[in-house]
Amino acid sequence: MSLLIALSWDPAPWVERFRRLLPDHRIVVQGEAFDRSEVRYLATWGPQAGTLDNLPNLEVLFSLGAGVDHLMRYPGLPDVPIVRIVQEDLTTRMSEYVVMHCLMYLRDQRRYDAQQRDKVWEDNRSQPAARDVRVGVLGTGVLGQDAARKLAVMGFDVAAWGRTPKAIEGIRVYAGSAELNAFLARTDILVCLLPLTPETRGLLNAPLFRTLAFNGPLGGPILINCARGGLQVEADILAALDDGTLKAATLDVFETEPLPQNSPLWTHPKVTVSPHNAAISDPDVTSRTIAAQIRRHEAGEPLVGVVDRERGY
C-alpha cells in the first residue's frame, strides 16, 4: 500500500516525515519508478500533467494546502474524495497575517518605516481607533471566520460575507450576491479569504473597488488579498491605487506566481507584497494531519475536510 508524494517543490522533507509516521506504508515520489497500482493515497500540491493519471487503486487525494483550485483545474481529476488541509496551525498563521496587516494600516506603520529610513521624527496625525475601522472579510469559511473573530478581539468593527447565511458571534454576516454591495459599502479594509472558483475569479475588480466605503477614518479603502491571485484583476488594482479609489493594497497572491520581475506591483509605493506565504502548510503539522487522516480512513472513520467537487472548494 503506497502513499505517492507529488509536489511542485522539494519533496525530501515530506518523504522523511511520512516514512517515519507511516512505517507500514511505502512512500513513493513522483518522478521515481514505482508500481502505480499500489498507490492508495496521493499527497500533492500543483500536480503536473500525468501525475494523477493511471492510479487504478487510488482511494484519497490529499491537497497539501487549504485551497484545491490547483487540483480542480487538472484535466481528468480522479473520481476519489479530495481532502484539503483544515488545521488550527494553518488557520492561526492566516489570522496572524490578516490581523498584522490590518493593524499596520490602523497604525500607519508603512509611514513610520519610511520616516525611520529618512530619520524623520514626526507625529502630527490623528490616530483612528480600531472600533471606527470597518473590516469586511470575504469568506465565512474556516479561515474567514477565525480571522473575523480575531479582528473583532482587536476591536475592529467586523463584518463578513459568504455564499450562504451563517451566524458568527459578534460579527455581522452578509450572504450572496444580493447582499454584496451593502457589505462593501460598509467596508474600509477588505480582506479576501475566498476560494478560487469559476464564480469568484476576477471578483476583486474595478466596479467592486468603487463600491467600498470612502468615508472611513483611514483616508480610503484598503485591499488585503491572501486567498488566490486569480480572484484579483491586477490592472484594476493598479488603476484604483493610482486614481485614489484604493488607498493601499496588501497582496500575498498574484495572477502569475512568482510575481514577474517586471510587475509594477513590486515597486508601487501603495502596495505591500508577500510571496504567497500568508499561511504555510507546516511540514511537521501537515504530515501528522495527513497520516492521522489515513489512519482514520483505514479504521473506517470519516475523513475531515472533504471538498465538494461541484462547488469546487
Q: Which residues are identified as catalytic? A: 228, 276
42 scored as a contact of ligand NDP (CB under 6 A): no
Q: Which does 216 bind (CB under 5 to 8 A by kind): ligand NDP, ligand OXD, none?
A: none
Per-residue binding string, ligand OXD, 203-242, x by CB under 6 A, is ----------------------------------------
Q: 277 with 53: CB under 8 angstroms?
A: no
| Residues in CB range of 45: below 8 A, 6 or more apart | 7, 8, 9, 63, 64, 65, 70
Dist. CA 224–CA 187, nearest whole Å: 12
Report CA 254 to chain centroid distance, whole Å. Answer: 11
Report CA 203 to chain centroid distance, whole Å. Answer: 15
Dist. CA 313–CA 192, nearest whole Å: 15
Q: Which does 136 bind (CB under 5 to 8 A by kind): ligand NDP, ligand OXD, none?
A: none
Among 200, 232, 286, 293, which residue interacts with ligand NDP (rule: CB under 6 A)? Answer: 200
CB of 280 to ligand OXD, least distance (A): 6
* Closest residue to ligand OXD in the complex (CB): 65
Give the DSSP H or E segment for 151. Answer: helix 142-153
CB of 312 to ligand NDP, least distance (A): 8
CB of 100 to ligand OXD, least distance (A): 17
Q: What is the CA radius of gyration of the chain?
A: 21
Which of 61/66 has CB closer to ligand NDP?
66
Cβ-based burial of 149 (10 A; exposed 0-12, middle 13-18, buried ≥19) = middle
Q: 77 with 71: CB under 8 angstroms?
A: yes
Site for ligand NDP, residues 214 to 233, rule: CB under 6 A: 226-228
Q: Which one of the spans 3-11, 40-48, 113-121, 161-169 is the region binding ligand NDP (CB under 6 A)? A: 161-169
Among 58, 82, 99, 193, which residue interacts with ligand NDP (rule: CB under 6 A)? Answer: 193
| Residues in CB range of 239: below 8 A, 6 or more apart | 206, 245
User: How is residue 63 annotated by DSSP?
Assistant: E
CB of 278 to ligand OXD, least distance (A): 8
Report CA 161 to chain centroid distance, whole Å. Answer: 15
User: How is residue 230 annotated by DSSP?
Assistant: G
Q: Which one of the spans 106-114, 149-157, 159-167, 237-245 is the region binding ligand NDP (CB under 6 A)? A: 159-167
Partner residues linked to 271 by β-bridges: 249
Among 144, 216, 229, 230, which residue interacts with ligand NDP (rule: CB under 6 A)? Answer: 144
47 scored as a contact of ligand NDP (CB under 6 A): no
Which of 22/278 has CB closer to ligand NDP?
278
Residue ranges in contact with ligand NDP by CB under 6 A: 65-67, 94, 139-144, 162-164, 193-197, 199-200, 226-228, 252-253, 276-279, 313
Residue ranges in contact with ligand OXD by CB under 6 A: 65-67, 85, 279, 281
